[in-house]
Amino acid sequence: MTKLLIADDEPEVIEGISTLVDWENNGIKIVGCATNGEEALEKIRMLCPDIVLIDIKMPKLDGLQVIENAKKEGYIFESIILSGYDDFYFAQKALELRSLNYLLKPCRPKEVLDAVLKAKNVLEKEREKEALINRFIEYYNETLPILKERILNEVIFGIRSKEEIEKLFERYNIKLSSGKYCVVLAKFDIENASDTYPSSPVKQEAYTLACVNLIQEELEDFRAEVFRGRNEIVILINSDFEFDREMMDDILTKVKKIVDEKLGLKLYFGVSRWIDKIEKINSSYEQALNALELKFFADDIDILYYDDICLNKNTLLYPIDEEKAIINSLLLCQKDTIKDKVENFINSLYAINTFNKWFIKSAVLALLGSIIKVCHEKCIDLNDVVNSKVFENILKTEKKELLKASLLSFLNAVVDRIEQSENKNLIVKAAINFIEKNYNKNITLESVAKEVYVTPAYLSILFKRELKINFIDYLHKIRIQKAQELLKNQNLKTYQVANMVGFSDEKYFSQVFKKYTGLTPTQYRESLL
């Protein structure tokens, strides 16, 4: 019988729920009742109910606090919330605590019964799954021939010769004979099932073993061996004929379905070509590994074939224009445009570097390096942003969308850091810094704008807005200040000073000098004597 605890501060509600529902004939036993939160928590500790039907608003502790405290103490049960308050906060909190249902009072007996039966069904399935996992762990520990698995791994890794393979297969009753062979690798789609995949290494191992046995049972009508590889489940199929794609799809779809139903986890597969020599199984294994890599490019496909790989013979290309567009949006703090520009960058990478996952990841890391360099040059502190495991996430991800999400998250954090900077305008500061270092060269508005990743027109606007002076006046002002210092040296000719501060025409230099100082260069020098 499934044990039910009822907690409500209204005795008549408890009485109604207890008497108006035929609990016994539905396999439910009411083991206790409580009229306040503290009493409910104590009875959970004493009675260990399977299901707790509890009111939100109760004296001493409310229903959510009772559930939260009990679960923190390690008690396992399904909870159903009763409330007269149609409040989104309570519903949201109930979902956070994994309550199966949220019933508004007054509710009919049938609603209560349906909610409790749903909870009972969930409990039974969880227990069935737990029993299945425990059964397979026991089966593995007691009966699974460890040596057989090791031998099969030595075969796929190319450690054994043909003669050794044949002898070992016969000795240990491995059901593979002459004919054709195909290697299929199966992996858990962990990135799309982070909530159901266990974090404990022991449970991860248990799930893997359970999956191996489920697949072996599903393939009992075929000559196939299923075992753990390095990081994948290996399905080594032996047949007198090659399965066509339709037949292989049908087999693996059934395998995928049974694992999903029994363990709540999804698989995807990499399929090699068929071979006719047992000693070449290692090459088939490598092909299946390469097929698994296609998941990076085809997130919506779960059965991936080595034959679908088109090796790209072209030179690998980096989308430099798309990089510049991203950096430009960053410096202008244009969050609304960054997403589209990231999309363009990633799509360009995929289009010109087909099926080269590691080059794509390297290119994304190179983009991050360029952004960090630009920000460093502009005195933008990115230490906390860089330490956010963005590099690790990019290296680990196996999905295009997650790659984009990691990159976009990093870029948005960079924009936030730029916006938080104390500088009034980092672009203007970068431009001033460049002018200070290069005033003696032939620089223009266009060349400076290119250096700070903005258009000349926009840079001109920024100068007027932030410095209350146009670009050319600022450049002339810097050059004349430098010229005044140089004119103190009586050994330098006027034309030499002009060249040293970026003027190629001595006459034009004199005109500009007089405009800013009221004196010609010669008159200024004489005034110093």
pLDDT at residue 465 in the model: 77
Listed residue (124, 268, 135, 249) closest to 193, CA to CA: 268
Of 374, 393, 420, the residue at which a domain comes to its end is 420
Residue 440 counted as domain residue: yes
User: Mapping DSSP to helix (H, G, I), strand (E, B) and coil, where does residue 465 land?
Assistant: helix
Residue 314 counted as domain residue: no
How many CA within 13 A on the CB side of residue 360? Answer: 26
Element (H, E) at 227: strand 223-228
The CA–CA distances, whole Å, from 342 to 36, 171, 307, 372 equal 55, 57, 31, 16
Q: Is 471 found in the same domain as 360?
A: no
pLDDT at residue 43 in the model: 94
Q: pLDDT truncated to tens, each residue of the chain (529 aa)?
A: 899 999 998 898 888 888 888 898 999 999 999 999 999 999 999 999 999 999 888 899 988 889 889 989 989 888 888 877 665 456 556 555 566 577 777 888 888 898 899 888 988 888 888 888 877 767 655 654 577 888 888 888 888 888 888 888 877 677 777 789 999 999 988 766 556 677 778 888 888 889 999 999 999 889 898 998 888 999 999 999 999 989 999 999 999 999 989 888 889 999 999 998 888 899 999 999 888 877 766 667 888 888 876 444 445 677 888 888 888 888 777 788 888 888 888 888 777 655 567 678 778 888 888 888 877 776 777 777 766 677 777 777 777 778 888 888 888 888 887 776 644 467 888 888 899 899 999 899 999 988 887 788 888 888 887 788 889 999 999 999 999 989 888 888 889 999 999 998 888 999 999 988 898 998 888 887 7
pLDDT at residue 182 in the model: 94
Any idea how long the chain is? 529
Element (H, E) at 33: strand 28-34
Q: How far apart are CA 356 and CA 364, in angstroms?
A: 13
Query: In the chain, how many domains are there?
Result: 4
Q: Give the other-Cβ count within 10 Å of 459's Cβ.
A: 23
In terms of Cβ atoms closer than 10 Å to its own Cβ (0-12, 13-18, 19+), residue 16 is middle
pLDDT at residue 424 in the model: 46
Q: What b/e string do you get for 118-156 counting C-beta neighbours within 10 Å, with b at 16 or more? A: ebbeebeeeeeeeebbeebbeebeeeeeeebbebbbebb
Q: Is 261 found in the same domain as 164?
A: yes
Residue 135 counted as domain residue: no
Residue 297 counted as domain residue: yes
Strands 267-271 and 303-305, bridge-based pairing: parallel
Q: Is 3 left (phi over 0), alpha (psi -120 to 50) or beta?
A: beta
Q: Is 88 found in the same domain as 176?
A: no
Q: How far apart are CA 351 and CA 114, in angstroms?
A: 52
Q: Is 75 found in the same domain as 9?
A: yes
Q: Is 273 found in the same domain as 333?
A: no
Residue 35 counted as domain residue: yes
pLDDT at residue 127 in the model: 85
The CA–CA distances, whole Å, from 439 to 210, 322, 474, 498 equal 71, 30, 11, 11
Q: Is 287 found in the same domain as 203?
A: yes
Q: Give the other-Cβ count within 10 Å of 343's Cβ.
A: 13
How many CA within 13 A on the CB side of residue 326? Answer: 29
Q: Which two tokens stand for residue 103?
A: 């019933």
Q: Is 451 found in the same domain as 408?
A: no
**Sequence-ordered alpha helix ranges (H) in 195-271:** 201-218, 245-263
454-471 per-position pLDDT tens digit: 788 888 888 887 788 889
Q: Is 407 found in the same domain as 462?
A: no
Residue 272, domain CATH: 3.30.70.270
pLDDT at residue 406 in the model: 84
pLDDT at residue 457 in the model: 85
Q: Which residues pair with 181 in a beta bridge?
A: 238, 275
Q: How far apart are CA 405 and CA 482, in angstroms?
A: 49
Q: How far apart are CA 361 and CA 327, in angstroms?
A: 18
Q: Is 288 found in the same domain as 178?
A: yes
Of 91, 124, 157, the residue at which a domain comes to its end is 124
Listed residue (265, 274, 258, 174) closest to 213, CA to CA: 258
Distance from chain centroid for Cα 476:
51
Residue 130 counted as domain residue: no
Torsion, Cα 327 328 331 332, to 10 degrees, reads -150
Strands 233-239 and 180-188, bridge-based pairing: antiparallel
Q: Which two tokens stand for residue 444?
A: 């223009």
Q: Is 221 found in the same domain as 173?
A: yes
Q: Is 302 found in the same domain as 246?
A: yes
Q: How far apart are CA 86 and CA 102, in angstroms?
A: 10
Of 405, 420, 435, the residue at which a domain comes to its end is 420
Listed residue (237, 236, 228) closest to 207, CA to CA: 228
Q: Is 448 found in the same domain as 513?
A: yes
Place of tokens 């330490």: 387
User: Mapping DSSP to helix (H, G, I), strand (E, B) and coil, where does residue 103 land?
Assistant: strand
Q: Which two tokens stand for residue 491?
A: 């050994």
The CA–CA distances, whole Å, from 243 to 247, 264, 315, 504 equal 6, 28, 36, 79
Q: Which two tokens stand for residue 125?
A: 């399935």
Q: How far apart are CA 233 and CA 255, in angstroms?
A: 12
Residue 377 counted as domain residue: yes
How many CA within 13 A on the CB side of residue 318? Answer: 13
pLDDT at residue 250 in the model: 94
Residue 131 counted as domain residue: no
Residue 507, domain CATH: 1.10.10.60
Q: Provide the residue range defining the domain that includes 18.
A: 2-124
Q: What angle do CA 456, 462, 463 make, to 5 degrees?
A: 90
Listed residue (458, 346, 321) closest to 411, CA to CA: 346
Q: How far apart are CA 158 and CA 277, in angstroms?
A: 13
Residue 118, domain CATH: 3.40.50.2300
The CA–CA distances, whole Å, from 188 to 131, 194, 218, 231, 301 equal 21, 10, 17, 10, 13
